[in-house]
A and B are shown apart, each in its own frame.
Chain A
């Protein structure tokens, strides 16, 4: 199935693109991110924490729904957006 991965700054800088179209097997957001981290190691460095899990600072939006749990099924045509929020004035 086809999934669109959208990346905001600074994550997009890791691969020089703001989106990827991925052909993946059926699975969850977790398996999708494992796949992406392996396929794009530079992006993986930004996404993963010391223990190899997704860093808590990385926010995940599946279509228009923010996720706090990643074991959510992804379906053909879904868009997954990843970003790191910061604050300022």
Chain B
């Protein structure tokens, strides 16, 4: 069996070099996102253009990936983001991550640029760069089917037509729906003339203490199945959240001009169009929908951003747009946000037919579908939208006032963060831009969580009221750290403490699982420190690539426009209170007043060195 190997694939030279991952890295960054981020900091020089061959694309699986550990399907794809110019990092489920480990590698770095369309084949410990001319131009599903037809039972992570055309919000996809969605990782793969990374292997993953692993899994299964939340997630999946956010008046609607929308997008309406619930590798949650229109999804993100945000009320229309994004290889979060932004700009007269070539309007799914195809093909007005938030250059400076993005990344989830202040700080400071999957302190939405429970989780100083700015830096700090650790051990946040129930898996469980699998002992505090180290490394990467404290902010609308509907009515973000909260967050993280990692810490992290 293989154990913790990585390889650098030089696409320009056609060469592959293999390495054993240094034990020190495994100990202090674990794997997955942690080691990926450390590699990015080391390998990408300041001033690199995201589409330059000097950029790298890193795929990484955590040490629990491919084992019996629950929901251990996850892997991370990282690089300098074509969408934002800072950290690009995206976490993905499905079956590819485990298969990459079965094929012999935990991390794969693609550098340089292939002279012709290629794919990278990883099979039983061997890596080969192969011709992809027969696959170029295929959509994300067609290419995976073709690869299986030609190569047998392989798993692949692929870029679609959008990625081939370097659409800055192009994602990578594996299976029908699973996506390394955020930050344009599909465009980065496309810029390297690579269509896919394919993995297959007959070896398993080395587990140091198999008997202990079996016992642990029995315990963990009972523990998770005992939660009231588990059957809800398994039967409804994430679309359940639409109704919750909508009840609060916190659904981003028509580019956040409104904050509540139609009940027709509630989860029970979706059930009419669901064939069955399915799962990723090693997961008993089964939160994914196979829909009756030959696709998978939608997730809550798609319901909100391709539904309410585009002014659509009809589920079949939303599901079809979801399937279109999946097939073309477009990130749903960015696509829905950018379309909603363009529609509002047109309504306001900030852009017109001279630029768009056609009338734009909310509530028209055919128009949205047409534009998604134009974006993927970079045709006409689609070529401008394909630049994602960088379209400000064409739309003019006023357009920026209506852009729902942070650090150039359109907001990931449909939840309007003006009401719950910790959510606002979370998306403002997240290392990849406006994204809830980096630090969303979900427990803030449990309005009746006793203060003593909150204090036990987040520390003294946290306040009970979700609309207060006081102490909310603690909730974001805790979540940032544990999410980074979760992404680095290789399991899904859905079953973890902090993201859902406080009774889901936390550091204590990670420690036990890591010992069973790797034989290495980690104290809970050490695992939290690994999360902190990863956040600091990502901050160092972003600072190196030009980010400053000014970029830790929110869309202008969130500061200026109060919400108008339901529970959230009247709420917006107060600039002074936000800045104070942000400064407190920096202090907690031991960054300086300008949000910079202190020199001693930089020195400490840089001392881990490079690959030998």
Do A and B form a real pair?
Answer: yes
Closest to B437 in A: A89
A10-B232, A86-B232 given; A59·B240 CB < 8 A: no
Q: Note all chain A residues with C-beta closer than 8 A to B446.
A: 56-57, 59, 85
Surface stretch bound by B, among A20-28, A36-44, A64-72: A64-72
How far, in angstroms, from A64 to B235 measured CA to CA in the complex?
Answer: 28
Closest to B271 in A: A9
Are B268 and A9 neighbours in the complex by a CB distance under 8 Å? yes
Closest to A10 in B: B232
B109 close to A (CB within 8 Å): no
How far, in angstroms, from A36 to B212 measured CA to CA in the complex?
Answer: 46
How far, in angstroms, from A62 to B466 measured CA to CA in the complex?
Answer: 16
Are B500 and A87 neighbours in the complex by a CB distance under 8 Å? yes
Are A89 and B448 neighbours in the complex by a CB distance under 8 Å? no
A8-B244, A8-B247, A57-B229 given; A85·B445 CB < 8 A: yes
Closest to A55 in B: B228
Of the candidates B248, B299, B500, B566, which one forms a contact with A86 in the assembled complex, judged by CB atoms under 8 Å apart? B500
Contacts across chains A and B counted by CB atoms under 8 Å: 99
Are B266 and A88 neighbours in the complex by a CB distance under 8 Å? no
How far, in angstroms, from A85 to B236 measured CA to CA in the complex?
Answer: 12
Within 8 A of B (CB), among A31-81: 46, 54-61, 64-68, 70, 81
A67-B448, A68-B464, A86-B233 given; A9·B287 CB < 8 A: no
Q: Note all chain A residues with C-beta closer than 8 A to B450.
A: 56
B241 close to A (CB within 8 Å): yes
Q: Note all chain B residues with C-beta closer than 8 A to A87.
A: 241, 436, 440, 442, 445, 499-500
Are B464 and A64 neighbours in the complex by a CB distance under 8 Å? no
Within 8 A of A (CB), among B233-281: 233, 235-238, 240-241, 243-244, 247-248, 266-268
Are A66 and B447 neighbours in the complex by a CB distance under 8 Å? yes
Closest to B267 in A: A9
Are B448 and A58 neighbours in the complex by a CB distance under 8 Å? yes
Shortest beta-carbon distance, A45 to chain B, in Å? 10
Are B244 and A61 neighbours in the complex by a CB distance under 8 Å? no
Q: Note all chain A residues with C-beta closer than 8 A to B448.
A: 54, 56, 58-60, 67-68, 70
Are A57 and B236 neighbours in the complex by a CB distance under 8 Å? no
Of the candidates B235, B301, B437, B567, which one forms a contact with A10 in the assembled complex, judged by CB atoms under 8 Å apart? B235
Q: Note all chain A residues with C-beta closer than 8 A to B231.
A: 10
Shortest beta-carbon distance, B451 to chain A, in Å? 9
B300 close to A (CB within 8 Å): yes
Instruction: Please report the total number of B residues contacting A with Cβ < 8 Å.
Output: 46
A88-B300, A89-B238 given; A81·B247 CB < 8 A: yes
Instruction: Please report the total number of A residues contacting B with Cβ < 8 Å.
Output: 27
Q: Note all chain A residues with C-beta closer than 8 A to B243.
A: 8-9, 83
A5 close to B (CB within 8 Å): no
Are B247 and A83 neighbours in the complex by a CB distance under 8 Å? yes
Write out, one digit per residue, whether chain B residues 563-584 have a CB within 8 A of any chain A CB (1) or not (0).
Answer: 0001101000000000000000
A81-B247, A89-B238 given; A56·B567 CB < 8 A: no
Which residue, of B238, B240, B243, has the highest number of chain A Cβ atoms within 10 A? B240
Closest to A85 in B: B445
How far, in angstroms, from A70 to B499 measured CA to CA in the complex?
Answer: 26
A84 close to B (CB within 8 Å): yes
Shortest beta-carbon distance, A56 to chain B, in Å? 5
Are A88 and B238 neighbours in the complex by a CB distance under 8 Å? yes
Of the candidates B453, B494, B569, which one forms a contact with A56 in the assembled complex, judged by CB atoms under 8 Å apart? B453
Closest to B499 in A: A87
Write out, one digit per residue, whether chain B residues 206-237 have a CB within 8 A of any chain A CB (1) or not (0).
Answer: 00000000000000000000001101110111
Write out, one digit per residue, whether chain B residues 1-33 have a CB within 8 A of any chain A CB (1) or not (0).
Answer: 000000000000000000000000000000000
Are B566 and A89 neighbours in the complex by a CB distance under 8 Å? no
How far, in angstroms, from A85 to B425 measured CA to CA in the complex?
Answer: 20
Closest to B464 in A: A68
How far, in angstroms, from A9 to B247 measured CA to CA in the complex?
Answer: 11
A9-B243, A83-B243 given; A88·B287 CB < 8 A: yes
Write out, one digit per residue, whether chain B residues 407-442 have a CB within 8 A of any chain A CB (1) or not (0).
Answer: 000001100000000000000000000001100101
Which residue, of B267, B300, B447, B448, has the highest number of chain A Cβ atoms within 10 A? B448
Are B301 and A85 neighbours in the complex by a CB distance under 8 Å? no
Closest to A88 in B: B238
A10-B232, A66-B567, A89-B436 given; A59·B447 CB < 8 A: yes
How far, in angstroms, from A26 to B464 measured CA to CA in the complex?
Answer: 28
Shortest beta-carbon distance, A50 to chain B, in Å? 11
Besides A59-B448, A88-B233, A89-B299, 6 more A-B contacts (Cβ < 8 Å) are A9-B232, A66-B466, A68-B464, A85-B244, A86-B442, A89-B300
Q: List 21 A-B contacts (CB under 8 A).
A: A9-B232, A9-B240, A9-B268, A10-B231, A10-B236, A59-B448, A61-B247, A64-B567, A64-B569, A68-B447, A68-B448, A68-B464, A83-B243, A84-B228, A84-B232, A86-B241, A86-B500, A88-B237, A88-B241, A88-B300, A89-B436
Task: List chain B positions with a Cβ less than 8 A from chain A.
Answer: 228-229, 231-233, 235-238, 240-241, 243-244, 247-248, 266-268, 287, 299-301, 412-413, 436-437, 440, 442, 445-450, 453, 464-466, 493-494, 499-501, 566-567, 569
Task: List chain A positions with a Cβ less than 8 A from chain B.
Answer: 8-10, 12, 46, 54-61, 64-68, 70, 81, 83-89
Among all A-B residue pairs, the 10 with the closest Cβ atoms? A88-B238, A87-B442, A85-B445, A66-B447, A64-B567, A56-B448, A10-B232, A8-B243, A85-B244, A59-B447
